[in-house]
Structure formats: C-alpha cells, structure tokens
Structure 1
Amino acid sequence: MCRSIKTLREPYTSDVTEEDVRAAALQYVRKISGFRAPSARNTEAFERAVEAVAAATNTLLEELQLKSLTR
C-alpha cells in the first residue's frame, strides 16, 4: 500500500525517532485520504488523524513482543 513507509521495528531499525513515526503516519493519512495536503477546512481533521496514527504506531511498537534473535 504505502511503499514509502519503512518498517519501524527491530531488527529492521533500532533507532526509531518521533520524526520517523510522524512521517509514517503522515504517509498513511495521505494515502487513505487521497490528499497530499488538505484544504484549509480539512487541516484540523487531517492533523488529528496524523497524531492519532502516530500515537497508535508508538503504542504498537511499545507493545510488540519480538522473538529474541540472540541465544
């Protein structure tokens, strides 16, 4: 779907920043809404969606239980 969204969990990346999470959320919202940039009257809804997706992403990354790669 969103090919430009990179995987944000280990072992694919170890240093996930808030900017990484927000960029992924923004790409997702852009894809779903069909807008690269919202109109003035849709800006608040667009930004709320980006924040909600970013928050959900952070929660997911914190709660994922990954199999240990070391023995």
Structure 2
Amino acid sequence: MCRNIKPLFNFEPPASEDEVRAAALQFVRKVSGFTHPSQENRRAFERAVDDVAAAAA
C-alpha cells in the first residue's frame, strides 16, 4: 500500500449540488466511454448520472 496517501480533513465548505452533479457526470462519461450519448441512450445516461450523484451526496 502506498504510504503517501493522507486522509483529507477540513472540507469547508462542503461540495454543492452542482459540484456533485458535475463530478457524477464526469465519472459516468469516463466509465461508459461516451462523452455525448445518443438519443436512445440519453435517458439511461442521465439516470446513471442521477444515481451516482445520489450515492455521492
């Protein structure tokens, strides 16, 4: 295990809803490999972003 990993403290101010949503969008884009989903996949893509944002909040 890497010994350079340090726990982070003092998260003030906490992440806003917009920041959480932007991070979730970036994560889903990275995992799915899509930067812009097709019309057919848009609903599933948005649902995945919402699910990740809810889990992170």
TM bin, normalised by shorter chain, reads 0.7 to 0.9
TM-score, normalization by structure 2: 0.78
CA distance in 2, matches of 1:17, 1:29: 18
Aligned pair count? 50
TM-score, normalization by structure 1: 0.64
Q: Give the equivalent residue in structure 2 for 1:47.
A: 46
Structure 1 residue matching 2:41: 3-state secondary structure: helix
Report how far residue 12 of structure 1 moved: 4.4
CA distance in 2, matches of 1:10, 1:51: 26
Q: What is the aligned-residue identity percentage?
A: 54
Deviations 1:6-59 (A, max 9, x none): xxx85244241100000000000000000111001000000000000000001x
CA distance in 2, matches of 1:37, 1:13: 33
- Cα distance 1:40–1:55, how it changes in 2: closer, same or farther (>3 A)? same
Structure 1 residue matching 2:15: 3-state secondary structure: coil
Are positions 1:18 and 2:17 aligned together? yes
Residue ranges of structure 1 left out of the alignment (5+ in a row): 1-8, 59-71
- Return structure 1 stretches of 4+ with deviation > 4 angstroms: none
